[in-house]
Amino acid sequence: MAYVDTHFHIWELDRFEYSWPTKNDKTLFKNFQIEDIEEAVKATPVKYAVFVQCLNNKPEEAKWVMELAKNHSIIKGVVAGLDLTSTDLTKVLDDMQKNQLFKGCRHILDFEDEKWITREDVFQGIKVLEDRGLTFDLLLRPHLLKYIPDLIRRLPK
């Protein structure tokens, strides 16, 4: 039986500007590439994996990983960091959905104002994802959980 790792990251420090990992993190502040993932799962039943964004508002990151997937069959899905408040969101999604590896979006709330997730423009962006059958993942700390029940009520799918 083949397993799927549903959440992996790769990064090239010279390719994009990352907020994390920081230079102080000696373990993680280095390039992690798709070959590292392939090597790490060699002795396991994991055969496929889903890339999850490291950067908010950066479709180029997802496109880079989807390009890598042409030569690395382990990549079976991509969750991108897109600007959900952009007036170009539908255009960006149209472009992303040309590639069947694109599954949805994630947003790292640590880099936003505490009430970002309660904004109407954010809700409208998430609604566009819902209407297209795409996923929306949140990375948040416990103190932000109080804002999520209302969001879920407004987006029942």
Q: Which pLDDT does position 156 carry in this prediction?
A: 81
Q: Where are the domains of the chain?
A: 3-154
Indicate the SS3 state at residue 136: strand
How far, in Å, CA of 24 to CA of 21, rounded? 8
Residue the block writes with tokens 């799927």: 4
Look up the CATH number of domain 3-154.
Answer: 3.20.20.140
pLDDT by residue for the chain (157 residues), tens only, comes to 889 999 999 999 999 999 889 999 999 999 999 999 999 999 999 999 999 999 999 999 999 999 999 999 999 999 999 999 999 999 999 999 999 999 999 999 988 999 999 999 999 999 999 999 999 999 999 999 999 999 999 998 8
Q: Which pLDDT does position 140 carry in this prediction?
A: 94
How far, in Å, CA of 86 to CA of 47, rounded? 35
Q: Which of 1, 87, 111 is nearest to 46 (CA)?
A: 1
Q: Which pLDDT does position 102 carry in this prediction?
A: 99
From residue 56, alpha-carbon distances to 60, 70, 137 in Å are 11, 24, 12
